Structure formats: C-alpha cells, structure tokens
Amino acid sequence: MHASYSGECLCGAVKFIIFSEPIAVLSCFCQHCSKGAGGLQQLIGKFSTETVHISTTDNESISKYTLHDTSSGDCKEKAFCRTCGCTLWTIPAAAQGKFYLIRLPLLKGGLSLRPKMEIFVRNRPTWMEPIKDAEQWEEARK
C-alpha cells in the first residue's frame, strides 16, 4: 500500500506514515488546541487508527496527557513527544480508539489540506475571517 502522508515531530523521535486520505480536515479554535499550539487554532486531520503507522526512537518517546475539562464532558488523550514537547495527536474518548486527530503541520504536504470545517468558532478572533465554504460550528460537531 502506498503511503499518502508521512510526518514527524520537531526532533524526529516520533515518526508516522499514514496510508489514507483524512476522514475530515478541520480548524479547531477550542481552548485546548489554542493553548497547545500557542496560537489561534490547530489544523487537524482526522485519520483512522488502522491507517496510521507510528515509529519511535525508543518506547518512551511518546507521553500522554488526559484532558478532563472538555466542552463535551468526555475526556480526550493528548500525545506529545517526550523530547521536544511537540503535540502529535489527540484521541477523544468518543472516538473509542478508532481515529487520531493529527496535527497537519507535522505532515509533509499537510498544510496543503484545506479545512472543510471550523469548530469552536465562538473563540475565533473577530478580526479573522471564516474559511470560505467551510462548515462553521460554535462548538464541536456532535
């Protein structure tokens, strides 16, 4: 099977190959994504866990942190590189392990994927325009 995307964290300790196109591409303005990115939002690709192959330099390269104060009330697990601190992906509890929400800037060609949806737009700065033709959600899509 031909890889669609490959990517890595800042230091290269965590690498991944994805063998599919994303299920969805979105821009998230939630508090967790903004704080985690140190910016306005995160650009995210939703990929089936079955199509993502992860490799690390050692078994301790990936750390996880569980966020409990989510708007849905469901926990979500954030994975990041233990060496460089780079956020890698999030797995919402509602996903039941079926997909990763991978940060698009980590993928080669990831920034060429145009978001079709913006979520938590109530947090988007008033001076920032919506993405043309993208679905707009005040909170997360349910």
What is the separation of C-alpha 27 from the centre of its chain, rounded to a whole number of angstroms?
A: 9
Q: Is 12 left (phi over 0), alpha (psi -120 to 50) or beta?
A: left
Residue in this structure with the two tokens 């994303």, named with its chain if needed:
22
pLDDT at residue 97, as a whole number? 84
pLDDT at residue 1, as a whole number? 55
Q: What is the pLDDT of residues 89-118, one digit of tens each?
A: 988 888 888 999 999 999 999 999 999 999
Q: How far is CA 100 from CA 49, 68, 82, 134, 137, in A?
A: 6, 18, 18, 21, 20
Per domain, the residue ranges of the chain are 5-137
- Residues of the chain short of pLDDT 70, as ranges, are 1-3, 72, 141-142
Residue in this structure with the two tokens 């750390």, named with its chain if needed:
63
pTM score of the predicted model:
0.88
Q: Which of 3.40.640.10, 2.170.150.70, 1.10.275.10, 3.20.20.70 would CATH assign to domain 5-137?
A: 2.170.150.70
C-beta separation of 130 from 119 below 8 A = no
pLDDT at residue 118, as a whole number? 95
pLDDT at residue 112, as a whole number? 94
Find the radius of gyration of the CA atoms of the chain: 15
Q: Please list the helix, strand and coil fractions of the chain in percent, rounded to the nearest 5, in that order.
A: 15, 40, 45
pLDDT at residue 8, as a whole number? 96
pLDDT at residue 33, as a whole number? 82
